Structure formats: structure tokens, C-alpha cells
Amino acid sequence: MSAAASSPPLSRRAVLGTLLGFGFGFGLAADPARAAASAMRIASLGGAVTEILWRLGAGSRIAIVDTTSVYPAEVLREKPNAGYLRALSAEGLLSAGPDLVIAAEGAGPAAVLTQIREAGIPVVLVHEPPTVEGVLEKIRAVGHAAGLDAPAETLHRTVEAAFAALAGRRARIARPARALVVLSLANGRVMAGGRESTADGILALAGLRNAAEGLTGFKPITDEAIVAAAPETVVVMSNEGHALSPDTVFAPGTALSQTPAAAKRSLVAMDGLALLGFGPRTPETAEALMRAVYPDLTGE
Amino acid sequence: MSEARRRGVAVFAGLALLLAAILLLSLGSGAVRIPPGRVLDILLQGGASGAGDPTFARDALVVLNIRLPRTLLGLMVGAGLAVSGALMQGLFRNPLADPALVGVSAGAGLAAATVIVLGDRLLAAVNLPGSLPYTALPVAAFSGGLATTYGLYRVATRAGRISVATMLLAGLAAAALAGALTGLLVYASDDRQLRDLTFWSLGSLSGATWTKVMTSAPAILPVLVTVPFLGRGLNALVLGEAEAFHLGVPVERLKRVAILLVAVAVGAGVAAAGVIGFVGLVVPHGLRLLIGPEHRRLLPACALLGGALLVLADVVARLVVAPAELPIGIVTAIVGAPVFLWLLLGRSALADV
């Protein structure tokens, strides 16, 4: 790997400071904005962050990603991978020779981020609330960090317009259907997305009512609660094209087979990151979900 | 006697060489490729000769601020775990004993889970903004470990005497209780906290900083220095508590001190690196086969080998999936368990003779 050879100079002050043991402080780069504008090798940590950078045309500047960065797969396959977002390794990240780290909020461990900052590399953390404003704000934040304010503004407008169109269509839904987001179906046990989860956020955008309103976060839900929740549609995650089939989900004898969704065989499979990642694809995903559940709305 | 002593000297020399080689390996390997010559240069001169070369500056930072603290932390934690294992096996006169029996890991684990899952909610409940500083977790783990051990110690102490058997059983109960409470926290956790818990329970030396080294050293180093002085007492204890007492060993004090040392060393280790299994079990057993059960030799040897093996495991953990890294507990168990089985096979063959 020739990453080391092509890595840009560190600020000598930063290195000296660290060597002398004063390096417990924070980003030592004198002007983060200037450092960011010239950042050519970005460590992009977090699925939505990576997706935004790619949409902004900075895919080639991504030097290293994390395991949650899975879209677009063909671009990311050959990038080095720093592992799980919350279990990063300082030396692993440094080995890619990044001059800027853009990470989803929650990246860590915190000590590793501190070590990266000690190395004179600015670390920009991006907030991730699962809302429309959250997505729009995230586009601006990532764009600003990468010195791509103008393209970010364009993408911001596109996504904002898509959200507005989505809201217009949503307003025409007379009665929101009840939907259950099933994260996994291991051994017949259903893990569902409750309130305050990203699943809840995407359902709201698609004009659906979360049937698992009694849960908070992603939790196993009991069979009785599934029957009581009476979802009219079930949303599952597909992974690289593989998804649960209606036959599996609504298998006879299971709690899910006792729901209105089973009667209509209403099952929607969507890509996990697109569904729960709250990135630039969120309006399209919400729209696809909406169209799948309310086919009559598509007639305009 | 002289034969055993010669063998002991040879083993110690071998262990010291092994440790030195592994330390150099650890400082010389990682995701960032740095030529060995440059690593030595950085270590010996603090990187002064490379001033002006930007890649040299980056390499110096990697060696001095990432690899060196990480290696030292692994050395201390591994030594502390192995020595604690040997102490526990001597104290309980049971080859299966490991530091978990005095409740340190269970208590530390529960405290850590509490911080991971409830930390920010507790802050919000008392109307403090933001999140807990990341020192909260190690501090909680260390205190939780010590508190649990103290509780077990109180349960097992009757009229000034510690019943080792009671402590062992109470330790099992405490582990089960802590496991259940941790399970409750797992249920209450969100996706991200669950991942944090899982990773923490597999251990890692990632994020080892000089601060971590400096805060762990005052807890672990005194234990390593004190432990050889318990050797004579532990040797007598092999014969039984009453016999040791008649040999002039202050048995009750020995037990108290040993339990305290284990709680401090393991508590600090768990606080710094999470739960790392198998080092406390495999290292003392392996060494007993090599140099015999004499504790004055066994305990320092455990410190050397435990430190060396944990640093080696860390090298593996950060190389196999670089630039990501494996939790170190996976490496110690994958390598430790088969080695342990192999040791057992060898031993039973001897016992049959």
C-alpha cells in the first residue's frame, strides 16, 4: 500500500506538541475550514455520510470507509474498511493516510478519535436525527466539511424538493395504514422497530402508522403484541437482493399469519441502508414504500 | 533442588527473551507500514533525526502515541490477569479457579453495562446536558469490580475467618445475578448500545492512550511487585489451611491480601481493556507444567508470560483484519482454548502413568 507515501504533511506544530506529551488537546489544525477545503483523502465513517460524499462527486476522495458504508457497493468494494463505526482503530484509520475524518455521530471509541485529532487530522462529527431536517442538515454538514458547499446546496435543494413532493402525496392519504417494520425474524422471534427508531421515522415519511407503537427502539415483540398491533403491511429488510419471502414471514401458525397483512399478503422488502440510513435516498425510499402500500396514489 | 533451580533460570531467561521479542514485534507491526529501522530510530531518538520528513513525523506519532501505550497497557493487563489467575488457583487450591470467582469481572461488567446503557439517561434525569465523559466507563468498571469483591468477602467472612468455599459459591451466585441484571440492561438498550456492550465484553486494547497507561499503572504495578512475597504462603496453603497455619503462615491475612490484589489487578485490567478471557487460566497452567507449582517462581513467570501473550494476541487482533481490528477476547479464546485442551491431554497422559 502506497498510502503512506502519498499522505500529506502534518502540521509540524501538531507533531511536536504530541511528542512532547502536550497532545492531549483537540484538533490542532489551525484552520479546520482550510484543511477541509484541501482534503483529498477523506475517511468517511457512516453509511449516510459516505452516500452523501459520493452524491457530491467526492467518491474518489474517499480513502477509507466503515462497515456501515455499503452504498454504492461497486464504489466501496475496493476501499479499505476500518471496521465497525464504534470499534475503530486509530492506526487502522491512519494507515489510509486521511487528511480529514467525517464521521456519523457516535463513531468511536472516543479515545481513538482523540488520537486521530492528536495526529493533526480534523475530525468532523455529523448529527443523525431520523427526520427530514436531519437529512437536509446532514447534507449541508458533510458538504461543508469536505469543502463542497456549492454541490451540497444543489443536492440539498433536490432532496428538499423530493421531500416536499412526498409530503404533497402523503397529504392525499385518507387513512394511514398500520405497518410493522421487522428488523429480523430469527428463530420465529420478531424484532420490530418501535417509537423513536429510524423505522418509525421512515414509516411517518411514507404516510404509514407504526403498528409497534408500544415499543421503543428495536425490540423483540411478543406474538400477542403482534396480533394486537394488527399491521396491515409488513416491511422487511433486503440484504444484497435477498429478502424474506411472504411464505416465510406469513408461515401458517405464526403470529404474523394472524394479522391483516397476512390476509392481503402485504409484504414490502427494502434495502436496509436505504430504509433506515436517512441519507439522500430517503425521499425515494419513502416514496417507494408509500407506492407499495397505497397503489391508488400513484395515479396522480 | 539445583536441577529445578537451573531449569527455573533457563525458563526465566527464555521468557524474558520471548517478551522482548514480542514487545519489538508489537512496536514494529500494525496497519501503518513502518520499516523496522525507522521504528528503532524513533524509539531510540524520539524521531529527532527525521525532522522535516512528514511521513517520518506521522510514523513517530504512530509508534510513540499509538503502539507504545497500547503495548505497555497490554503488557500490564496481561501480566495482571495471569498473576491473578495463579493467585486464585493457589488460594482456592482448585485448578479451575480464575479471577471471575471473586466477582471482579461480574461486578465490573454490570457497572460497565449500566454506564453504557443508562449513562446518558441518568444524566438527562438530573438535567445535565451532553453525555458522560469517556472516563466514566473505566471508573465505573473498576469500582463495580472492587465493590462486588468486597461484598463477596463480607459474605464469606465469619468471625474473622474467610471461608474460601463460601466465597466460591457466593461468587457463582453473584456472577449469575450480575448476568441477569446485565441481561435486563441488554433488553433496555438500543441497537448502538447493544453493539457497545458486545464489543466491550470481548475486550480490546484499541484506544489505549498514555492517559490509560498512566491511570492503570498505579493499580497494576504495585500488585505485580507485591505478589512474589505471597509465594511462600501459597506454597504452604497447598497442604491445607490448618497445616499452613501451623507452619507459621498468617493464613487469614494471606487470603485477604490475595483477594485484594486480584480485585485491584483484574478490576484495573477490565476497566482499561474490557473483559479478556482465558489468559488467567491458560498461562498459570502452562507454566506449572514447565516449571512446577512453586509459587515464588510461578508468580513472576506468570507476569512475564501473561504480558507477552496478551501483547502477542493484540498484534494478531490488529493485523488479521487491518485496517479494522478484532476484539482481543476472540483471539485469546480461539488460541487459548485449544492450547488449554492440549495441555490437559498431555497432563492426563502423565497422570495415567
Does any domain span residue A134?
yes
Does any domain span residue B2?
no
Does any domain span residue B24?
yes
Which of B186, B196, B209, B214 to probe the A interface (max A CBs under 10 A)? B209
pLDDT digits (tens, 9 = 90+) for A184-241: 887 778 999 999 889 999 999 999 999 998 888 888 898 989 999 999 999 999 876 6
| pLDDT number for residue A26 | 37
Q: Which residues of B touch A95 (CB under 8 A)?
A: 30-33, 322-323
Q: Which residues of B touch A25 (CB under 8 A)?
A: none
pLDDT digits (tens, 9 = 90+) for B78-95: 999 999 999 999 998 887
Residue B130, helix vs strand vs coil: coil
Tell me whether residues A91 and B62 touch, CB distance under 8 A: yes
| pLDDT number for residue B49 | 62
Q: Residue A213 is part of which domain span?
A: 175-293
A36 in Cβ contact with A146 (< 8 Å): yes
Report the alpha-carbon distance of residue A204 to residue B227 in Å, rounded. 62
Rounded percentage of chain B residues whose pLDDT exceeds 90? 49
CA distance B345 to chain A (A): 37
Residue type, B111: A
Chain B residue closest to A216 (CA)?
B190
B204 in Cβ contact with B327 (< 8 Å): yes
Report the alpha-carbon distance of residue B304 to residue B106 in Å, rounded. 26
Does any domain span residue B4?
no
| pLDDT number for residue A16 | 42
Q: Are residues A12 and A154 in the same domain?
A: yes
| pLDDT number for residue B256 | 92
Tell me whether residues B318 and A217 touch, CB distance under 8 A: no
Write the CATH number for A150.
3.40.50.1980
A184 DSSP β-pair partners: A191
| Cβ density class B146-184: b for 16+ within 10 Å, e for less | bbbbbebbebbbeeeebebeebbebbeebbeebeeebee
Q: Which residues of A touch B46 (CB under 8 A)?
A: 19
Q: Give the DSSP letter string of A144-187.
A: HHTT-HHHHHHHHHHHHHHHHHHHHHHTT-SSPEEEEEEEEEET
Report the alpha-carbon distance of residue B77 to residue B270 in Å, rounded. 8
| pLDDT number for residue A149 | 95
| pLDDT number for residue B130 | 61
Write the CATH number for B54.
1.10.3470.10
pLDDT digits (tens, 9 = 90+) for B59-83: 888 999 899 999 999 999 999 999 9
pLDDT digits (tens, 9 = 90+) for B319-330: 998 889 899 999
Q: Residue B261 is part of which domain span?
A: 10-352
A185 DSSP β-pair partners: A190
In chain A, DSSP finds a helix count (H) and a strand count (E) of 15, 10
Interface of A with B (CB under 8 A): 1, 4-5, 7-10, 12, 15, 18-19, 21, 23-24, 64, 67, 80-84, 86-96, 106, 109-112, 114-115, 118-119, 197, 217-219
Report the sign of the C-alpha dihedral through residues B227, B233, B234, B235, in that order. Answer: positive
Q: Are residues A23 and A109 in the same domain?
A: yes
Residue B345, helix vs strand vs coil: helix
Q: Are residues A141 and A194 in the same domain?
A: no
B2, B5, B9, B12 alpha-carbon torsion, rounded to 10°: 170
Tell me whether residues A7 and B58 touch, CB distance under 8 A: yes
Contacts of A37 (CB under 8 A, 6+ apart): A147
| pLDDT number for residue A164 | 96
Characterize the bridge pairing of strands A189-193 and A267-271. Answer: unpaired
Question: Structurally, how many domains does chain A consist of?
Answer: 2
Q: Which pLDDT band holds residue B290 (cuts at 50, 70, 90)?
A: confident
| pLDDT number for residue A34 | 46
The rounded Cα B36 to chain-centroid distance in angstroms is 29
Tell me whether residues A94 and B32 touch, CB distance under 8 A: yes
The region of weakest confidence among A45-49, A132-136, A257-261, B284-288 is B284-288
pLDDT digits (tens, 9 = 90+) for B292-301: 889 999 999 9
Characterize the bridge pairing of strands A208-210 and A233-238. Answer: unpaired
Q: For residue A190, count CB atoms less than 10 angstroms from its CB and return exposed for 0-12, middle for 13-18, buried for 19 or more.
A: buried
- Range ranked top by mean pLDDT from A164-178, A231-245, B120-134, B164-178: A164-178
Tell me whether residues B323 and A92 touch, CB distance under 8 A: yes
pLDDT digits (tens, 9 = 90+) for B96-117: 777 777 888 889 989 999 998 8
Stated pTM of the model = 0.82
The rounded Cα A134 to chain-centroid distance in angstroms is 11
Please, what is the average pLDDT of chain B? 88
B162 DSSP β-pair partners: B157
| pLDDT number for residue B140 | 92
A286 in Cβ contact with A202 (< 8 Å): yes
The region of weakest confidence among B17-21, B132-136, B154-158 is B132-136
Q: How far apart are the first and last CA of chain A?
A: 54
Q: Which pLDDT band holds residue A298 (cuts at 50, 70, 90)?
A: low
Q: Which three cell numbers stand for residue B216?
A: 492503570
B340 in Cβ contact with B54 (< 8 Å): no
Chain B residue closest to A24 (CA)?
B211
Q: Are residues A219 and A87 in the same domain?
A: no
The mean per-residue pLDDT over the stretch A51-63 comes to 94
B271 in Cβ contact with B301 (< 8 Å): no
| pLDDT number for residue A11 | 45
Rounded percentage of chain B residues whose pLDDT exceeds 70? 93
Does any domain span residue B5?
no
Q: Are residues A255 and A225 in the same domain?
A: yes
Interface of B with A (CB under 8 A): 30-33, 46-47, 54-55, 57-62, 64-67, 134, 187, 190-192, 195-196, 199, 204, 206-212, 318, 321-325, 327
Q: Which residues of B touch A89 (CB under 8 A)?
A: 31, 206, 318, 322-325
The region of weakest confidence among B48-52, B68-72, B228-232 is B48-52
Question: Cβ of A52: how many Cβ atoms within 10 Å?
Answer: 28
**B324: nearest CB among A83, A111, A115:** A83
Does any domain span residue A170?
no
Count CA within 13 A, CB hemisphere, residue B306. 32
DSSP for residue A278: -
CA angle B236, B241, B242 (to 5 degrees): 105
The mean per-residue pLDDT over the stretch A17-43 comes to 52
On the question of pLDDT at A283 being above 90, the answer is yes
Number of inter-chain CB pairs under 8 A, A vs B: 126
Q: How far apart are the first and last CA of chain B?
A: 23
- Range ranked top by mean pLDDT from A72-76, A201-205, B339-343: A201-205
Cis before residue A129, ω within 30 degrees of 0? no
B197/A29: higher pLDDT? B197
The mean per-residue pLDDT over the stretch B124-129 comes to 70
Q: Which pLDDT band holds residue B129 (cuts at 50, 70, 90)?
A: low
A83 in Cβ contact with A89 (< 8 Å): yes
Q: Are residues A69 and A213 in the same domain?
A: no
On the question of pLDDT at A62 being above 50, the answer is yes
Q: Are residues A213 and A84 in the same domain?
A: no
B135/A28: higher pLDDT? B135
The region of weakest confidence among A177-181, A274-278, B55-59 is B55-59
Q: Are residues A185 and A154 in the same domain?
A: no
Does any domain span residue B205?
yes
The region of weakest confidence among A8-12, A156-160, B208-212 is A8-12
Report the alpha-carbon distance of residue B351 to residue B253 in Å, rounded. 34
Q: Which three cell numbers stand for residue B345?
A: 491431554
Residue type, A225: A
Please, what is the average pLDDT of chain A? 85
Q: Are residues A24 and A142 in the same domain?
A: yes
Radius of gyration in angstroms for the set of CA atoms belonging to chain A, rounded to a whole number: 22
Q: Are residues A33 and A146 in the same domain?
A: yes
Count CA within 13 A, CB hemisphere, residue B353. 4
| pLDDT number for residue B50 | 60
| pLDDT number for residue B268 | 93
Q: Are residues A149 and A224 in the same domain?
A: no
Q: Are residues A108 and A181 in the same domain?
A: no
Does any domain span residue A165?
no
Strands of A128-275 (E only): list them: 177-186, 189-193, 208-210, 218-221, 233-238, 267-271
Which residue among A128, A159, A190 closes a domain? A159
Does any domain span residue B229?
yes
A272, A278, A279, A284 alpha-carbon torsion, rounded to 10°: 70
Residue type, B268: A
Question: Structurally, how many domains does chain B consist of?
Answer: 1
